[in-house]
Amino acid sequence: ERPQLRAGGPDPSALRAEAPWLGVQGSGPRAAPVTVPAPPQGPSMGGSFAGLEFALPQEPQAADLGTPGTWAGAAGLPTPSVHIPVPAQRSPPGKARLDEVMAAAALTSLSTSPLYLGAPAVVFSPEPGLEPWREALVQPTGSYSSSSNSGDWGWDLASDQSSPSTPSPPLPPETAHFLFGEPTPRKRKSSVQVVFQCLWKSCGKVLHTASAIQRHIRLVHLGRRAEPEHSDGEEDFYYTELDIGVDKLTDGLSSLTPASPEAPVPPAFPRLDLPSLLRPLALPLPPVLSSAAPLQTCHSDHTHQGCLAPVRVDAQPTEGRATMPALPSKLGANLRKPRGDAKKCRKVYGMDHRDLWCTACRWKKACQRFLD
DNA sequence: CTTGCCGGGAC
DNA sequence: GTCCCGGCAAG
């Protein structure tokens, strides 16, 4: 028994429905954020992007994460090899080894976030978040100036967005910071703290342990008993893990700690101050992804979407009541499947031979004969 | 404009 | 359950 879909609230069913589909669609550097090397497909990077070097986070740039400024420094090095996460060419669909990618993602999450032990399902739940990462990766360098993201998708507790003087092209430090998807590498364990934020609409509660947040969700949002044994794991869909620097934590979370359990107001998410950088993205990114665990990225495509379902909210980016920033106002439409390019019964047989159509076509449903 | 099909209604 | 269609989004 699932709770009814609350308007504007997280929708686990949508997530579940989308997950397999995402898996099918998954191609290219899907889990590249951490372990998957640049996909071999597509034009060679060496040609058009000579001089640039992949900065895929094989080994997370420990020193950079959490301190975006470092990136500016890296970019300023005299060497032509700039640490810019040169996006891989979009690879043909279906070529990626999904199992590899998934395995990599799973391993990464396990190795980087011991706290997952307390929330096993989280490994799955953030699945839809892969996209921004991928989206960024597939952006050709040449077009990066108009490319994705400012790194401000998340709340400012997790990342320092204050680098107004930093030029954005070709790659703002924030972007690099974000792109690596692992802002809290193991090497900096000591200065990083993990918190768990409730994604429930208008909640945003932040707790320090997975069990606590699960309990919170069970009790407050799912209306269930607090005991974990009564859980079916659904609460995992409603929170996200955030890695934040201790200093930031102290600054930003002072009013969000469990000491103020009644506070319905979520952390003050930063507004998107670089909207132009977001333009190419089909979807704004779930804010919770900014600096969270590696898997906390969104996976979608220019022609596909749906990844936002689990964090769907109706909040407006600039409104105080917003639990999350900059989500599209009409996400419902994003759940619609993109039109396939296959000819359908209607087109093949024409209106004249409607009797030849498959039943679904006759009923104006998704064609079952000519699948995409 | 046409096409695909979601959402929902009628039965 | 089957069957149909209004209406929407994409092209």
Q: Is the CB of A339 under 7 A from strand B?
A: yes
Q: Which residue is nearest to nucleotide B7 (CA to C1')?
A: A365
pLDDT given for residue A233 in this prediction:
73
CA distance A268 to A252: 9
pLDDT in tens, A157-188: 333 333 333 333 333 333 333 333 333 333 34
pLDDT in tens, A239-249: 777 776 554 44
CA distance A259 to A236: 23
Bases in strand C with any atom closer than 7 Å to a protein CB:
3-11
At A344, is the pLDDT very low, low, confident or very high (cuts 50, 70, 90)?
confident
- List beta partners, residue A297: none
Q: Is the CB of A347 under 7 A from strand C?
A: no
Name the 3-class secondary structure at A239: strand
Backbone angles phi, psi at A342, to 5 degrees: -70, 145
Q: Is the peptide bond before A185 cis (omega within 30 degrees of 0)?
A: no
Name the 3-class secondary structure at A94: coil
pLDDT in tens, A225-235: 666 666 677 77
CA distance A367 to A364: 8
**Residues in CB range of A74: below 8 A, 6 or more apart:** A64, A82, A83, A176
Nearest to A75 by CA among A93, A102, A53, A45: A53
- List beta partners, residue A193: A244
Residues 348-367 of A with CB under 7 A from strand C: 359, 362-365
Nearest to A272 by CA among A200, A174, A206, A144: A174
Rg from Cα positions in chain A: 21
Name the 3-class secondary structure at A21: helix
Name the 3-class secondary structure at A276: helix
Q: Which two tokens stand for residue A279?
A: 């333009």
Backbone angles phi, psi at A195, to 5 degrees: -125, 170
Q: Model's pTM, two decimal places? A: 0.23
Nearest to A123 by CA among A236, A10, A292: A236
